[in-house]
Structures are given as structure tokens and as C-alpha cells.
Amino acid sequence: MESDLRPAPRIAIVDDHDVVHAGVEAWCAGANPPVGLLGSFHSPAEFLSVYPEAADEVDVVVIDLQFAGKPDFGFLSTLCKRGQRVIVYSYLSADEVILTCLDIGAVTYLVKSEGKRHLIEAIHDACTAAPYVGPRMAKAVRNDCLLGRISLSEREKEVLVAWFQTESKEAVGKRLYIAPTTVRTHLQRARAKYANVGRPAPTKSALLARAIEDGILSLSDL
């Protein structure tokens, strides 16, 4: 099968519930293609003590959003700023929470009730140019759109414009003083938002066309 040819992603889990660790570990062990579990952590501090800097060996970090009873957007921001691919896997399902996480830089947001299939697909797709979009994330993005227009964050717009004006993600990173992996994350999120309103942009030229359609930039900017 074609799916069997995909590389096996390596993940770390950050969640303060043992049952989540046990469940995700079992799901990963039975996944096809397989998912490698590099570490299980019960708090942001525990994860950061092991990985104080960007962890290249960790392809995806799956995190809960609530620690000590409240959302920890700061931890998510820390991971995203250093270029980690992050899947938020939470009980929280409010549009505002989901959209805030996407704006911060999460590749995908899943509600825990969406279960095994969605999480495993999201882990595999997090390492591609087309991040996985689960049902609740899709609804939140749709609710944030009007007549097919999407709401890109200012940083996403900045990255898009820089990407269209340069040769590579590395060049964008140098211009904006961010890592190429962070550039890729912003581009992935922009593509996911377009796909969810029925305006897919899988290539650079297609994404450029969408940006021009939405007034993000004009031909004179190129």
C-alpha cells in the first residue's frame, strides 16, 4: 500500500493524564506506517528539561493544552517559535481556543473525543505539506471564514509575502529571523486554512494565486 511507504514519524507526548499516555502509546504501536514514541512527559517543564532547545529527533510533539487546570498557550508558543511541529490534543473544543492555537503555530488541533484514527492520521500528515484537518478544527476554521475568505494571522501573511519574493524557505528564514522549519509551519497552516474553505493551494503557484485573490499582495509586490 502507498501509505506503507511513508516514513515513520517520531513523536513525544506531553499530557498530565496517564490514560492518555497509555492510549496513545498503544495506538502508535499498532499504526501503519508505525509511529515511534520517543518520550512521554507529564508537564511542559518535564519536556523542556529533556529538550531545552529544538529537538530535531522529535518530528511531532503531541500536547494537551490544559495543565494545572488552565490552557497553557505559552508552552505551545515556545514549541512553535523554535520550529517544532505541534499537534494540540485537548478536551477543549471552543472555536476561540482552536483558532488561537492555530494562530500561535499548531499544525493541527484535535479534540480528544475524535479518537485514534484522527490522531494517527494527523501525526503522519504533520510531516507533509498538507497538515491533517479533523472535524472540529474544520468547523472552527469554517466559522472563522466569510464567503471563502480565510483569516490568516499577520505572521502568516508576512511569511507568504516573503516566500513569494524569495527563492527558498531558508531565504525567508534569514529575512524574518526565523528557522526554515518555522517558515514551513506557517505555510502548512495557510494551506490547511485554504483547503478547509474549498480553495486548495497545494503548490506555490496556487498559493500565490489565492494570496492575490484575497488581496494579501499584488503582482507589483513580486
pLDDT of residue 23: 94
The dotted CATH code for 2-143 is 3.40.50.2300
Could you give the 3-state DSSP secondary structure of residue 81? Answer: helix
Domain boundaries, the chain: 2-143, 154-213
Q: Could you tell me the pLDDT band of residue 211, with boundaries at 50, 70 and 90?
A: confident
Read off the pLDDT of residues 115-147 as tens digits, 9 standing for 90 and up: 899 999 999 998 887 789 999 999 888 877 655
Q: Which residues contact 49 (CB under 8 A, 6 or more apart)?
A: none
Q: Look-up: residue for cell 495506538? A: 27
Phi, psi of 182 (to 5 degrees): -70, -40
Q: Look-up: residue for cell 504501536? A: 29
pLDDT of residue 94: 85
> Is the preceding peptide bond at 200 cis, omega within 30 degrees of 0?
no
Q: DSSP assignment, residue 214?
A: T
**Across the chain, which distance is largest between two alpha carbons, in Å?**
55
Could you give the 3-state DSSP secondary structure of residue 105? Answer: coil
Read off the pLDDT of residues 8-64 as tens digits, 9 standing for 90 and up: 899 999 999 999 999 999 999 998 888 999 999 999 999 999 999 988 899 999 999
- The cell for 32 is 501503519
> What DSSP element (H or E) covers 199?
none
Q: Is the pLDDT of residue 2 over 50?
A: no
β-strand 60-63 against 70-71: which pairing, if any?
Answer: unpaired
Whether the predicted model's global pTM rises above the 0.95 cut: no
